[in-house]
């Protein structure tokens, strides 16, 4: 983990604070007075001082750097020493959500487990740049060619409102509803974070209609993270989404990204759509606390599983 | 059962399966999934079913072994699609049977999404993999000093002179760590009889005066990764380096028997993890599976109670503000 994640961007932190009414908690531990090993994290606190992961943030921003070229038992020890400080901080403040997501770089979540959190696994897909089309599935290449033949073109845009229709349609297909303030939110994010880091890509049909759009967070030298990705229902089979992905990858690579993170491929249809890109599947871990709200959720989920077996089982 | 001998884990061993079937009154349920007409991709595993047909992970069996082979290809989308297809079939079969207790998949199953999609819940646990030949430069120098000290003081390792010695050594570790293997003399003899000494390797470390001080038990098979099933040391000899010596001798023995590496099984307790990581192993996550039912719900509430007690204690002990 040499480069930090774009989630560490100061302007992104500022946007989160303004939009979601939270305050940042910057943590940094250097146990030995030296630069390394170190652990850095940005958490957010709600009004009651509990840790919260604001919407649109796929994970907490955590970065751990061990001392270079060490034997791995050293690294285990350094990680345990540092992460247990962070875990104790989380434990002391508590968190107000059902789950807290840790970034995929964190493989070892035992420091949290040892403080009484339940850890479950979820998955995201990592694409490493340079992106090679030859690593993708045939289906992907066919669809890209189809969209090109159709005459579609892609570009980065500052007109974020033009992207909204696509995102809304996709969210609706997945049974989500975006808030009516959503277009304002996009605009606000772009103003605060800046179009260099908060990038919106759109794919236009030959007659100028926006057919597919992708919003991602980028920082040079780090892995870009997808925030929203949507396609209009009428254009689902035309390959525009695939063409847009390819364009965004090329553009992000030029801008200095080291790769791309889809920010979650845990449901079956998303998994199928993303696996054709030939990325690495990365597990990441979610923490669950034991409390009354959580226990109500377990009971509800168990009742649902027992009474209606086979109904939307992947919705946990 | 003959074909099972080519499998990639000692958990498929005929004798081991027969012992578990007999001891826990279970029925083994080997599965060999592959598309009709072709050998590959293939997913082979071995489940145990109780009398009601539910899947059970018997005590002292660490994982459900997973042996997956894709068709030869280095293209990730290809391999990942084949894994999803095959494991989806397995997850569907498992959903049909239901899980009686908490199951654990072997660390080779890194992608457990198909089980989520079939209604299982999962948590993560950890183990250590150590590959042979052991890279000496990755071992903690303190560990090397420990085993040399044990050798200087005249400790030596060999197969047990009497089976009682094994139990003696295990007992003290169980008391220290607060768990129990529930192993009796008859049972130990039954396992060794069924599995065979070549596969169920027991070593005991004796002091110079012939007293047993430490023991270790491995399950191994040529060409596969051996499993460290149990390890126990008498408290008064802990500081003499006997635990390190017996592990070192054990690893050498396994390597001579043709094991490709060893799974140190379990890195989920701070003390256990610290004692195993000195060998320079790789930390690997593995996943547990639970059916969603009232039994598991009750278990969650029980865990909650336990953690609340633990959490109160921890909150009192840790003052994080001093680190800021």
Structure confidence by residue, pLDDT tens digits, B85-137: 999 999 999 999 999 999 999 999 999 999 988 889 899 999 999 998 988 88
Contact B304 A266 (CB under 8 A): no
The whole-angstrom separation of Cα B229 and Cα B162 is 19
Q: Which residues 6+ apart lie within 8 Å of B108 measured at CB? A: B66, B67, B68
Q: How far is B155 from chain A (nearest CA, A)?
A: 27
Q: What is the pLDDT of residue B7?
A: 61
Write the burial class of residue A304 (CB in 10 Å: 0-12 exposed, 13-18 middle, 19+ buried). Answer: middle
CB contact, 8 Å: A109 with chain B?
Answer: yes
Contact A271 B84 (CB under 8 A): yes
Closest CA to A156 of A199, A191, A197, A196: A199
Is residue A84 within 8 Å of A111, Cβ to Cβ?
A: yes
Contact B75 A115 (CB under 8 A): no
Name the residue among A76, A113, A116 with its Cβ closest to that of B283: A76
Closest CA to A102 of A290, A284, A261, A288: A284
Mutate: best of B73, B75, B76, partner A, most A CBs <10 A? B76
Write the burial class of residue B263 (CB in 10 Å: 0-12 exposed, 13-18 middle, 19+ buried). Answer: buried
Mutate: best of B276, B309, B320, partner A, most A CBs <10 A? B320
Interface of A with B in 287-306 (CB under 8 A): 290, 295, 298-299, 301-302, 305-306
Interface of A with B in 88-107 (CB under 8 A): 88-89, 91-92, 107
Q: What is the pLDDT of residue A311?
A: 61
Contact A116 B310 (CB under 8 A): yes
Contact B126 A108 (CB under 8 A): yes
Closest CA to A230 of A213, A246, A254: A213
Q: What is the pLDDT of residue A2?
A: 43
Q: Extract the residue ranges of chain B whose pLDDT is less than 70.
A: 1-7, 310-324
Q: Which residue of B has its CA nearest to A119?
A: B123
Instruction: Enter the tokens of residue B138.
Output: 């990755």
CB contact, 8 Å: A313 with chain B?
Answer: yes
Specify the pairing of strand A223-231 against strand A259-261. Answer: parallel
Helix and strand counts by DSSP (H, E) for chain A: 9, 12
Q: What is the pLDDT of residue B311?
A: 61
Query: Beta strands of chain A (E only): which ranges?
Result: 23-29, 38-45, 51-52, 61-65, 99-101, 118-128, 153-157, 198-204, 210-217, 223-231, 259-261, 280-288
Contact A91 B314 (CB under 8 A): yes
- One digit per residue, the tens of pLDDT, for chain A of length 316 reads 345 799 999 999 999 999 999 999 999 988 777 777 889 999 999 998 899 999 889 999 999 988 886 777 888 888 988 899 999 998 888 887 778 999 999 999 999 998 888 899 999 999 998 888 888 888 889 999 999 998 999 999 988 888 888 888 888 887 777 777 888 989 999 999 998 999 999 999 998 889 999 999 999 999 999 999 889 888 888 889 999 999 999 999 999 999 999 887 877 778 877 888 888 889 999 998 888 888 888 888 888 888 877 665 544 4
Using DSSP's 3-state secondary structure scheme, residue A289 falls into coil
Contact A108 B111 (CB under 8 A): no
The whole-angstrom separation of Cα A66 and Cα A38 is 7
Q: Which residues of A touch B293 (CB under 8 A)?
A: 302, 305-306
User: What domains sit in chain B, N to C, each tagged with a CATH number?
Assistant: 2-124+287-302 (3.40.630), 133-259 (3.40.630.30)
Closest CA to A293 of A95, A44, A83: A95
The whole-angstrom separation of Cα A213 and Cα A160 is 9
State which fold the A126-282 domain adopts: Aminopeptidase (3.40.630)
The whole-angstrom separation of Cα B169 and Cα B216 is 9
Q: What is the pLDDT of residue B92?
A: 93
The whole-angstrom separation of Cα A274 and Cα B106 is 26
Contact B78 A114 (CB under 8 A): no
Q: How far is B35 from chain A (nearest CA, A)?
A: 20
Instruction: Enter the tokens of residue A225.
Output: 């993270």
The whole-angstrom separation of Cα A114 and Cα B307 is 9
Is residue B208 within 8 Å of B242, Cβ to Cβ?
A: no
CB contact, 8 Å: A155 with chain B?
Answer: no
- As annotated, the residues of chain A forming the CATH 3.40.630.30 domain(s) are 126-282
The whole-angstrom separation of Cα B166 and Cα B184 is 10
CB contact, 8 Å: A281 with chain B?
Answer: yes
Q: Which residues of A touch B315 (CB under 8 A)?
A: 91-92
CB contact, 8 Å: A276 with chain B?
Answer: yes
Q: What is the pLDDT of residue A294?
A: 82
């Amino acid at each position: 983990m040499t480069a930090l994640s774009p989630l560490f961007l100061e302007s992104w932190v500022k946007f989160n604070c303004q939009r979601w009414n939270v305050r940042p908690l910057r943590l940094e531990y250097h146990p030995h007075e030296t630069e390394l090993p170190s652990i850095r994290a940005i958490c957010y606190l709600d009004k009651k001082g509990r840790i919260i992961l604001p919407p649109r943030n796929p994970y907490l921003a955590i970065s751990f750097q061990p001392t270079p070229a060490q034997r791995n038992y050293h690294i285990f020890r350094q990680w345990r020493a540092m992460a247990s400080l962070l875990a104790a901080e989380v434990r002391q403040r508590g968190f107000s959500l059902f789950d807290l997501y840790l970034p995929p770089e964190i493989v070892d979540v035992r420091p949290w487990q040892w403080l009484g959190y339940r850890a479950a696994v979820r998955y995201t897909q990592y694409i490493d740049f340079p992106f090679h089309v030859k690593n993708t599935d045939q289906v992907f290449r066919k669809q890209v060619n189809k969209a090109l033949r159709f005459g579609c073109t892609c570009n980065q845009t500052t007109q974020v409102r033009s992207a909204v229709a696509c995102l809304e349609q996709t969210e609706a297909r997945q049974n989500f509803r975006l808030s009516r303030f959503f277009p304002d939110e996009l605009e606000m994010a772009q103003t605060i974070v800046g179009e260099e880091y908060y990038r919106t890509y759109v794919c236009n049909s030959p007659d100028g209609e926006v057919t597919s759009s992708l919003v991602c967070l980028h920082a040079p030298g780090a892995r870009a993270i997808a925030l929203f990705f949507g396609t209009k229902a009428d254009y689902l089979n035309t390959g525009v989404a695939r063409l847009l992905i390819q364009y965004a990858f090329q553009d992000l690579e030029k801008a200095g990204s080291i790769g791309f993170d889809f920010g979650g491929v845990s449901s079956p249809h998303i998994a199928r759509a993303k696996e054709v890109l030939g990325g690495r599947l990365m597990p990441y871990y979610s923490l669950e606390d034991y409390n009354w709200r959580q226990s109500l959720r377990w009971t509800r989920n168990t009742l649902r599983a027992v009474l209606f077996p086979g109904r939307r089982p992947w919705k946990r | 059962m003959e074909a099972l001998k080519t499998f990639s884990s000692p958990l498929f061993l005929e004798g081991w399966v027969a012992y578990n079937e007999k001891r826990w009154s279970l029925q083994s349920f080997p599965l060999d999934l592959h598309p009709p007409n072709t050998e590959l991709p293939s997913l082979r595993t071995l489940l145990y079913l109780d009398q009601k047909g539910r899947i059970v992970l018997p005590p002292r069996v660490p994982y459900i072994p997973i042996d997956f082979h894709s068709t030869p290809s280095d293209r990730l989308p290809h391999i990942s699609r084949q894994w999803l297809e095959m494991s989806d079939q397995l997850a569907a079969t498992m959903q049909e049977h239901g899980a009686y207790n908490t199951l654990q998949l072997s660390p080779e199953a890194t992608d457990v999404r198909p089980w989520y999609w079939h209604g299982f819940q999962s948590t993560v646990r950890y183990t250590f993999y150590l590959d042979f030949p052991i890279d000496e430069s990755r071992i903690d120098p303190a560990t090397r000093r420990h085993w040399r000290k044990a050798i200087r003081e005249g400790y030596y390792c060999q197969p047990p002179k009497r089976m009682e010695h094994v139990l003696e050594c295990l007992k003290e570790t169980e008391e220290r760590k607060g768990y129990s293997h529930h192993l009796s003399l008859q049972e130990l003899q039954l396992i060794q009889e069924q599995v065979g000494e070549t596969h169920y390797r027991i070593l005991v470390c004796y002091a110079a005066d012939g007293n047993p001080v430490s023991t270790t038990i491995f399950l191994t098979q040529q060409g596969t990764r051996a499993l460290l099933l149990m390890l126990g040391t008498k408290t008064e000899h802990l500081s003499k380096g006997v635990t390190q010596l017996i592990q070192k001798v054990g690893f050498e023995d396994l390597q001579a028997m043709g094991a490709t590496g060893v799974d140190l099984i379990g890195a989920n307790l701070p003390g256990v993890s610290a004692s195993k990581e000195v060998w320079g192993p790789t930390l690997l996550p593995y996943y547990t599976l639970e059916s969603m039912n009232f039994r598991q719900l009750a278990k969650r509430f029980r865990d909650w109670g336990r953690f609340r007690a633990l959490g109160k204690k921890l909150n009192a002990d840790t003052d994080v503000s001093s680190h800021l």
